[in-house]
Amino acid sequence: MALRTIRVEGDRVLTKNAREVKEVTEKERELIRDMFDTMHEAEGVGLAAPQVGILKKIVVIEVEENEPIVLINPVITETEGSQTGSEGCLSVPGKVGTVTRPMKVVCEAVDENMAPIRVEGEGLLARCICHEVDHLSGHLYTEIVEGPLQDVEDLEEDGEE
């Protein structure tokens, strides 16, 4: 298990466009394993390569336990409906904000073997796909947040009352 450092808001790498992956070598496979390890350690549900300082179009997601998703060169090709809810980010630690995203998305990408895949997501998975794909274009959810960001600690305290 290799943990990578998660870059946080203010780090310039998070504002840059990631590059398309032309082939998956052992280096990319190791990156993908490390990204899953890092995401699990940080208790996240998604992580994009730029968040660990690598400007490649690679995303890992696991919103359902033991159902990992790897998206290489992902493109959202369809969206439907909308959902508004709380969203956080491992690169914006301790904060959450209200964001509106599509309720359903279709994402086309390739897997670790460069085979084409199509992932259809609804609800949390749709939100996560959109969030992670945004990272590949240098965008954070804070750019589209509705209203002020809130401290996670404040929300936890509100829930205890």
Alpha helices in 5-106 (DSSP H): 26-41
Q: Within 13 Å, how many C-alpha atoms sit on residue 7's CB side?
A: 20
64 tagged catalytic:
no
| Count of C-beta atoms within a 10 Å radius of residue 126 | 26
Cβ atoms of 122 and 104 within 8 Å: the answer is yes
Among residues 28, 78, 132, 153, which one is catalytic? 132
Residue 137 to residues 19, 49, 68: CA-CA distances in angstroms? 9, 11, 22
Residues with catalytic annotation? 132
